[in-house]
Amino acid sequence: MAGRVKHLIDQLIQLRAAGNPGVAHFLRAHLMLMGIDPEVYTERSPDDSAKEQALRQMIRDFRSRS
């Protein structure tokens, strides 16, 4: 299923930014430093299991702190 990375990026930004554009911008920059450029991924982007795993871990970490 293509687009899983895009979906996870969107989910992470929604969870962490909670509508705050400044936090969303910071998070996109953080992802780029990790080698995940949010602008590159679309709903048709091929899946990348390493990036999916990193994003899922970030989501789990955030949820465990909430």
pLDDT at res. 16: 93
Q: How confident is the model at residue 56 (pLDDT cuts 50, 70, 90)?
A: very high
> Which domain range does residue 60 map to?
4-65
Query: Do 13 and 28 meet the contact criterion of CB atoms below 8 Å apart?
Result: yes
How many domains is the chain partitioned into structurally?
1
> Which residue, among 18, 21, 29, 26, has the nearest Cα to 62 in the 3D structure?
18
The one-letter code for the residue type at 24 is A
Given a cut of 80, whether residue 2 has pLDDT beyond it is no
Entry pTM: 0.88
Model confidence over 21-50: pLDDT tens digits? 999 999 999 999 999 999 999 999 998 999
